C-alpha cells in the first residue's frame, strides 16, 4: 500500500485545488458537504445545473469520459483525486450521478454513434437529466425476472408495464429501460434495452412519499408507450449484457458514498454536546462507541487505500472493493443513529435551515436504510462475495434455463 500521491498525482491535485479555489467556496472545518438534506430543496436543481455547466466549460465535468464526449480522458485515480477535492468545497449534491456514472458509460459501450453524438454531451453538461427504469414490483434483486414488455410495431416498440423506485423520474428528460421482448427464451435471454423520452404519451409518474417527507423516487406506469427502434441500445433480446454494464457502474458509484456527515463530524458533535455540564465526549460509554466507529472507519479507509494503490499503479482493484458498500452503509446508519441519540430531542429536527447539523444527521439516519438496498442489498453483496471472492458453491437457480413464460409467478403477479 502507498499512502502518498506520486509527483504526477500531487501536480494534478494542485491543479484541481487551484481551479476549485477560484470557482467555489471551501468548507469551513465545522461545515459538512451538502448531502441528502438539500437534494430536494427548491433551487438545488438549478444550482446543480449551473455548477455542472461551469465545470463542463472548464473541462472538469465527467473527467474520466473520453475527450470526444466532453471529458478529459482522466485516469481512475485522477477521478478519485477530483472527488476528494471537490468534496472539500460547498458544491451541490450530484443529482446527475445516475446518468453520468451509469447510463452514459452504458451508451458509450453499447450505443451506436448517432446515440453517442445525440445524448452524451447534454448529459455531461447536466442539461438533460436521466433516470434508470430497471426495478419492478417483482423484479429487484432478481432483475432478470422483469415483466414490463416491449412489442415491435413497424418502426416502433410498444411498452406496457410498471417500474418502481425510479430515482428522479419526475424531473428527468430521458430514461433507460429494460424490457421483456421474448417470453419464450430463458429470463436473461429475452431482454432488450431502450432509451425512452419521459414525456411520451402513456407514461404516468407517481412520486412515492418517503419517511423523510420527500419524494426522491417514483412509480412509473407504461401504457402503450411508443419508442422508436432508433432508441434501442442493445441488440434485440441481448439487453442483459448492457444491463450488467449499468449495474457494474452503479455498484462502483454507490460504493463511493454520498456526502453528508462522517466520523470526524461525529467526534465534533460529541465534543460540542453537553451532558450534565460536561462534554459528552468525556463520557466513557460515548468514548467506547466512538472507538468502535473509529476502528471500522479506519478499516474501511485502509481497505479503500488498497483499491487506490491498485488504481494508481494502473492495475484492476481486487475483491476489497466489494467490501466498501457492505461495511460502509451499515456503519453510516449506526453512526447516524448514535448522533441522533446524542442530540436528544433536537436530533429529531429535519429543517436544514433552522438546524443544519441536526438536519444533516437526521436525514442521513432516515436515508441510510435505503443505501443498504440501492445498488445491491446486503444479502446480495454477501452472495457475490461468497461466490466470486470466497468461491463457495453458487446459489441454486432453478429458473435460469427454462423459458421465462414457464417460470411460476408469485401471488403478486
What stretch of H or E contains 341?
helix 320-342
Backbone angles phi, psi at 202, to 5 degrees: 100, -5
For residue 132, state whether it binds ligand FAD (rule: CB under 6 A). yes
In the three-class reduction of DSSP (H, G, I as helix; E, B as strand; rest coil), residue 261 is classed as coil
Task: Report how far residue 52's alpha carbon sits from residue 50's, in angstroms, rounded to the nearest whole number.
Answer: 5
C-alpha–C-alpha distance, residues 242 and 244, integer Å: 5
- As a whole number of angstroms, the distance between CA 367 and CA 141 comes to 19
Query: Is 166 a binder of ligand FAD (CB under 6 A)?
Result: yes
Measure the CA–CA gap between 53 and 242, rounded to whole angstroms: 28
Q: Does 141 bind ligand FAD (CB under 6 A)?
A: yes
**If binding is defined by CB under 6 A, does position 379 make contact with ligand FAD?**
yes
Decide if residue 107 touches ligand FAD (CB under 6 A).
no
The region of 5-13, 33-41, 375-383, 385-393 touching ligand FAD under the rule CB under 6 A is: 375-383
Q: Is residue 217 involved in binding ligand FAD (CB under 6 A)? A: yes
Q: Contact, 196 vs 225, CB < 8 A?
A: yes
* Contact flag: residue 249 with ligand FAD (CB under 6 A): no
CB of 140 to ligand FAD, least distance (A): 2
Is residue 330 at the binding interface for ligand FAD, with CB under 6 A as the rule? Answer: no
The sign of the CA dihedral 95, 96, 101, 103 is positive
Size of the site for ligand FAD (CB under 6 A): 19
Does 383 help bind ligand FAD (rule: CB under 6 A)? yes
Q: Do 407 and 399 form a contact (C-beta atoms < 8 A)?
A: yes
Segment lying near ligand FAD (by CB under 6 A), choices 23-31, 54-62, 165-173, 232-240: 165-173
Rounded to whole angstroms, the Cα distance separating 361 from 347 reads 8
Q: Binding to ligand FAD by residue 215, rule CB under 6 A?
A: no
Find the binder of ligand FAD among 373, 384, 385, 407 (CB under 6 A): 373
Q: How far is the CB of 381 from ligand FAD (least distance, A)?
A: 9
Q: With contact defined as beta carbons under 8 Å apart, do 218 and 146 qualify?
A: no
Q: Is residue 135 involved in binding ligand FAD (CB under 6 A)?
A: yes
Closer Cβ to ligand FAD, 71 or 370, answer by number: 370
* Dist CA 95 CA 396 (whole Å): 38
Closer Cβ to ligand FAD, 98 or 124, answer by number? 98
Residues in contact with ligand FAD by CB under 6 A are 98, 131-132, 134-135, 140-141, 165-167, 217, 370, 373-374, 377, 379-380, 383, 395
Amino acid at each position: 500500500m502507498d499512502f502518498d500521491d506520486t509527483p504526477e498525482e500531487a501536480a494534478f491535485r494542485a491543479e484541481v485545488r487551484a481551479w476549485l479555489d477560484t470557482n467555489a467556496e471551501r468548507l469551513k472545518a465545522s461545515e459538512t458537504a451538502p448531502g441528502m438534506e438539500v437534494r430536494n430543496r427548491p433551487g438545488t436543481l438549478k444550482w446543480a445545473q449551473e455548477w455542472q455547466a461551469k465545470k463542463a466549460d472548464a473541462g472538469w465535468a465527467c473527467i474520466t469520459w473520453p475527450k470526444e464526449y466532453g471529458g478529459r480522458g482522466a485516469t481512475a485515480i485522477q477521478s478519485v483525486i477530483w472527488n476528494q477535492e471537490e468534496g472539500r468545497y460547498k458544491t451541490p449534491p450530484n443529482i446527475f450521478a445516475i446518468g453520468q456514472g451509469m447510463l452514459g458509460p452504458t451508451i458509450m459501450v453499447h450505443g451506436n454513434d448517432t446515440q453517442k453524438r445525440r445524448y452524451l454531451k447534454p448529459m455531461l453538461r447536466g442539461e438533460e437529466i436521466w433516470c434508470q427504469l430497471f426495478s419492478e414490483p417483482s423484479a429487484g434483486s432478481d432483475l432478470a425476472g422483469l415483466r414490463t414488455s416491449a412489442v415491435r410495431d413497424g418502426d416502433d416498440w410498444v411498452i406496457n408495464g410498471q417500474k418502481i423506485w425510479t430515482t428522479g423520474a419526475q424531473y428527468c428528460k430521458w430514461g433507460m429501460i429494460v424490457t421483456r421482448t421474448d417470453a419464450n427464451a430463458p429470463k436473461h435471454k429475452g431482454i432488450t434495452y431502450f432509451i425512452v423520452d419521459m414525456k411520451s404519451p402513456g407514461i404516468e409518474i407517481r412520486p412515492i412519499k418517503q419517511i423523510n417527507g420527500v419524494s426522491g423516487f417514483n412509480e412509473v406506469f407504461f401504457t402503450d408507450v411508443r419508442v422508436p427502434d432508433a432508441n434501442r441500445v442493445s441488440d434485440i433480446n441481448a439487453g442483459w449484457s448492457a444491463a450488467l454494464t449499468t449495474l457494474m457502474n452503479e455498484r462502483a458509484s454507490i460504493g463511493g458514498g454520498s456526502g453528508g456527515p462522517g466520523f470526524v463530524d461525529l467526534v465534533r458533535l460529541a465534543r460540542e454536546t453537553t451532558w450534565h455540564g460536561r462534554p459528552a465526549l468525556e463520557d466513557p460509554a460515548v468514548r467506547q462507541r466512538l472507538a468502535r466507529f473509529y476502528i471500522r472507519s479506519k478499516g474501511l479507509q485502509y481497505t479503500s487505500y488498497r483499491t487506490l494503490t491498485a488504481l494508481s499503479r494502473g492495475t484492476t482493484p481486487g475483491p476489497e472493493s466489494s467490501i466498501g458498500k457492505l461495511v460502509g452503509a451499515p456503519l453510516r446508519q449506526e453512526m447516524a443513529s448514535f448522533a441522533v441519540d446524542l442530540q436528544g430531542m433536537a436530533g429529531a429536527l429535519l429543517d436544514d435551515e433552522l438546524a443544519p447539523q441536526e438536519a444533516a444527521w437526521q436525514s442521513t439516519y432516515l436515508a441510510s436504510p435505503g443505501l443498504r438496498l440501492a445498488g445491491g442489498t446486503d444479502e446480495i453483496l454477501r452472495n457475490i462475495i461468497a461466490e466470486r471472492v470466497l468461491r463457495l458453491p453458487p446459489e441454486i437457480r432453478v429458473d435460469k434455463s427454462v423459458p421465462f413464460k414457464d417460470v411460476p409467478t408469485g401471488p403478486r403477479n
